[in-house]
Amino acid sequence: MKSVTVRGAQALYFDAGQPAKDDQPNIVFVHGSGCDHSVWGMQSRYFAFHGWNLYAVNLPGHGVGARVSEGSVLGSIEEMADWLVEFLDAAGIDTCTLVGHSMGTLIAVEAASRHGTRFDHLVLMGATAKMPVHPELLRAADAREEKAVDLMMDWGHGPAGHKGGNINAGTWAMGGAKQMVMPRVADGTLGIDMAACNAYEGGAAAVSNLSGRVTVIAAQRDKMTPPKNGKAIADAVEGGGYIFLSEIGHFMLGEAPNDSLSALKAAVG
């Protein structure tokens, strides 16, 4: 992990051990609620070894073990978007391709709507302009109950994800995702993230203010951000792209890593 200082705190990011090069484009990955850079798994590593400068960030208060970014967990999507732009400044990133998943798509849209010249291309995975959270999930996350992450995993994976059969032998997509999120349930971070998503009202206005290249990657079995919502974003942006993944749920990155990587490669190609 590498770090830069943002607002006096250490902000961690993953670069797969590949130093940035002046002649390569930058790609920044922003995770969703309760997650961290590791949600991108092999998808981020691919770009680091194929001609891109990789910055897979951990938002403040996010990470596992010693890999938790310093600073207070941010309580609104607008604050997270501001922090992201400050991260770019601290890392010396003038422009980049910005990839977000779930809550990360809200952050990406909000940041790009106000700082459009900083972003060459938005890739939004599991996207919606408004992201209401089920009341029981909100309650359980606020109460720091394990039930919150169980609901998140149940609703966030498609049929294949529930049954196992991960391409990585001996692993289970839902179990791995739960292990990543559980520490952020216990310390209250997931509850703050979920409340921020639920409260964000600026998505439609932000989408209407987008310019430049935008690609939405949607999953057929996504119960948390239905694919029709992602299609609406793509249709609302002139020249917006749309990639549809069949029989996959919201946690597409771990449930179907190869399909997700292929979609990302097609999006930025």
Q: What are phi and psi of 131, to 5 degrees?
A: -125, 70
Q: Specify if 113 maps to a domain.
A: yes
Q: Specify if 144 maps to a domain.
A: no
- What pLDDT was estimated at residue 53? 98
Tokens for 40? 């991108």
Q: Which residues contact 125 (CB under 8 A, 6 or more apart)?
A: 99, 100, 101, 102, 105, 216, 217, 252, 253, 260, 263, 264
Q: Specify if 83 maps to a domain.
A: yes
Instruction: Supply the range of the domain harboring residue 109.
Output: 2-130+200-268
Give CA angle at 259 (60, 237), nearest 5°.
65
Cα 8 from chain centroid (whole Å):
24
Q: Specify if 135 maps to a domain.
A: no
- What pLDDT was estimated at residue 64? 87
Residues of the chain under the 50 pLDDT cut: none
- What pLDDT was estimated at residue 42? 81
Number of domains in the chain: 1
What pTM was computed for the model? 0.95
Q: For residue 59, what is the domain's CATH number?
A: 3.40.50.1820
> Exposed (0-12), middle (13-18) or buried (19+): which is 117, by Cβ within 10 Å?
exposed
- What pLDDT was estimated at residue 146? 93
- What pLDDT was estimated at residue 268? 95
